[in-house]
Structure 1
Amino acid sequence: MSKKEDIIEEQTVNEQENAQIEDNQEVEVEIVKEELTSEEIIQAEKDKFLRLFAEFENYKKRTSKERIELFKTAGQELMTSLLPVVDDFERALAHIEEDTEAEEVRKGVLLIYQKLYNTLEQKGLSKIETKQGDVFNAEFHEAITQIPAPTEDLKGKIIDCVESGYQLGTKIIRYPKVIIGQ
């Protein structure tokens, strides 16, 4: 072989060796990239796990709170259906108090009313106190009518409470029906 061919062959071998070295470096870079990718995947999975765990904890808290609220208001339908009976007792007591001859009947009706009302209170029912002169609040009162205010200071305030309001726990099950001054 001639020198020229030897030089060309040597250059070709050098080029092939350089190509192999570059390929090896690329493979090492790819391996490093795969390792970083694996670490990133692990980190992403940890993050996903933590988020899922937090979401599950929030779900448990929310369902627990809903269950407690359900138990508190489980008797709402029964309570609502008994409210007219309580109203009738209150009307009967108001009417009997006017009659002085029916003292024994009044005591009996009062005893039954108190027993019923105390039982309802034990189950979480409470009366919403509304009196004349209170400021009307649409969130807690239901205005059934407006009349001219008897005095200037009763304008926009409650003149009379026609029907009492009740709440079961913190939930209002019947709004007080009121008359407000204009």
Structure 2
Amino acid sequence: MSKKDKSEHAEKEQIQEEVTTDTAQIEELSIEERLNEDLAKEKDKFMRLFAEFENYKKRTAKERLDLFKTASQDVMLAMLPVLDDFERALTHIEEDKEAEDLRKGVLLIYQKLLKTLEQKGLSAIVVEQGDMFNADDHEAITQIPAPSDDLKGKIIDVVEKGYKLGDKVIRFPKVVIGQ
């Protein structure tokens, strides 16, 4: 081999070594990049799963609290007619002046029952004559001609009180509205 051939051969080997080194470095970089991408994907999956689990915990905790708040709903619904009867009895006893002691006794029992139910989360929905009728909040049982123009579309009379247990309406107020 001539000197020229040897130098060309050495030059080719050197270029081949550089290409091999560059290829190895590129492969190392691409492996590192792929690993970084895989790591980023796994971190993203983990964060999403963690957030989903946290939302699940919050949702079940809220549902559990709501269940405890309204667990006595059936008992409360059963007690509402009794409460209504007490109110009707008090109205009729007030008309009879001779039954003052009876009125005091019934009033005492009524107030005790009402206080006990309120402690358990029951509250009356306040509706008065002249309030605007809203089908989402009231149950209209009938319509009558309005006694005056300003009462058209408004509540004329409350036939039956409405009640809420916590934030949930368990009985809508039954009203008469003006036409």
Q: Out of 96, 99, 111, which is 2:96 matched to?
A: 99
Q: Out of 114, 130, 134, which is 1:133 matched to?
A: 130
Rounded Cα–Cα distance in structure 2 between residues aligned with 1:74 and 1:14:
88
| SS of residue paired to 1:139 | coil
Rounded Cα–Cα distance in structure 1 between residues aligned with 2:176 and 2:9:
106
Matches within 5 A, 1:154-169: 154-169=151-166
| SS of residue paired to 2:175 | strand
Q: Out of 32, 38, 41, which is 1:41 matched to?
A: 38
One-letter code of the match for 1:53?
F
Residue 146 in structure 1 maps to residue 143 in structure 2: yes
Deviations 1:106-152 (A, max 9, x none): 11111111111100000010000111111111121111111100111
Partner residue in 2 for 1:121 = 118
Residue 54 in structure 1 maps to residue 54 in structure 2: no
| Pairwise CA distance, 1:30 | 2.5
Residue 64 in structure 1 maps to residue 49 in structure 2: no
Rounded Cα–Cα distance in structure 1 between residues aligned with 2:56 and 2:78:
33
Normalising by the residue count of structure 1, what TM-score does the alignment of the two structures yield?
Answer: 0.86
Deviations 1:28-77 (A, max 9, x none): 42332111000111111112212221222222222222222211111111
Runs (5+) with no aligned partner, structure 2: none
Runs (5+) with no aligned partner, structure 1: none
| SS of residue paired to 1:29 | helix
| SS of residue paired to 1:101 | helix
